[in-house]
Amino acid sequence: MAPITFLEAIRQAMFEEMAADPSVVLIGEDVGVYGGAFKTSEGLLEKFGWERVIDTPISESAIIGAACGMSYLGLRPIAEMQFIDFIACCFNQLTNFVAKGHYLWNAPAPIVVRGPSGGGVHGGPFHSANPEMYFLHTPGMKIVYPSTPSDAKGLLKASIRDNNPVLFFEHKFLYRRIKEEIPAGDYTVPLGKAVVRREGKHLTILSYAAMMHTSLEAAEALAKEGIEAEVIDLRTLMPLDEETILQSIRKTNKCLVVHEDTKTGGISGEIAAILFEKAFHDLDGPVLRVASLDTPVPYAPTLEEAFLPNAQKIFAAARDLAKF
């Protein structure tokens, strides 16, 4: 099978799930006639028609409100945010209604909210967000953030089939930059399960999304200096695969967490707390973090480059950690 892009993997997942299950619908801004702002839904309107591929006004709160009603009536809506930054407009519906309703009285809420996230494309402060941690604190919500085309497809299919509300983040830097051969036929990737991308013995690097590839780049540079870093792709932030994380730390005894989200309040702080509680005696050094600066994402390319983590920053932090 020929390699496909991350973007095409998303499109295939939606196409296949809509073809297999007539209750799956897509709703969002420009998802129909235009085929999506990034063309992730191109061809779906022609195949499935207006009743299942629904263009909406520019109102994220209306999109989520409609999707919630659809889910209570037996449909499985995929709600697209044209840019994930604007998920903030429907924060109340997601946290106070969708997630709590599902959690408190077990009402099925098979809603997938997906959209392009992340920086590195000079989109500026309103089109480059990584808002995953705003929702990690919400019981009843699952949060997925893949890094490869095969995972993007398998995780999105699993998310659509899940009865929980799922936030599905798609790093736009990866949309057309990476290609990969994906498994043939119908497959899913389980939610809540991390994967080891690179075996190592001297320290563990935990990451996800675009920073997974940056971490692997840094690990290759570290290997040239005799430092073998184990690199783990978290893939799902809620539920978090603590077992895989703890197994790796018991082997390497050191941990570096890398993410594009800002450092303060990022997933790295939660992981550090888990390690202090459950693996303190296995640690031979501090849990270090490489993350973005605590500012909005700059628009200027040079400032954005300084704002974001990169392979050099990861390399330097990992090399210092390895000395402990």
Average pLDDT over residues 133-146: 94
Mean pLDDT calculated for residue range 116-135: 96
Determine phi and psi for 198, rounding to 5 degrees. -150, 130
Does 127 participate in catalysis according to the annotation? yes
**Token digits of residue 148:** 């490869």
Average pLDDT of the residues of the chain: 96
3-state secondary structure of 96: helix
| φ, ψ (nearest 5 deg) of residue 35 | 80, 20
pLDDT in the model for residue 100: 87
Residue 121 CA to residue 250 CA, distance in Å, equals: 37
Residue 323: per-residue pLDDT: 93
Q: What sign does the dihedral 232-237-240-242 (CA atoms) show?
A: positive
**pLDDT of the residue at 284:** 96
Average pLDDT of the residues in 203-213 = 98
3-state SS, residue 113: strand
Helices 210-223, 311-322: inter-axial angle, 10-degree rounding = 50
Catalytic residue, chosen from 102, 127, 213, 259, is 127
User: DSSP 3-state assignment of 208?
Assistant: coil
Task: Round to the nearest angstrom and report the end-to-end CA distance of the chain.
Answer: 45
pLDDT for the residue 271: 98
State the average pLDDT over residues 211-220.
Answer: 98
Q: Which two tokens stand for residue 319?
A: 């090399």
Q: Which pLDDT score is estimated for 179?
A: 96
List the single range of 96-105, 152-161, 221-230, 289-298 with lowest mean pLDDT: 96-105
pTM above 0.95, yes or no: yes
Q: Mean pLDDT throughout 284-305?
A: 97
Strands 76-80 and 166-171: unpaired
Q: Is residue 1 predicted with pLDDT exceeding 80?
A: no
Model confidence over 56-106: pLDDT tens digits? 999 999 999 999 999 989 999 999 999 999 999 999 999 998 998 888 888
- Average pLDDT, integer, range 42-49: 97
Cα four-point dihedral sign 47, 49, 53, 55 = positive
What the chain holds in terms of domains, given with CATH numbers, is 4-180 (3.40.50.970), 195-322 (3.40.50.920)
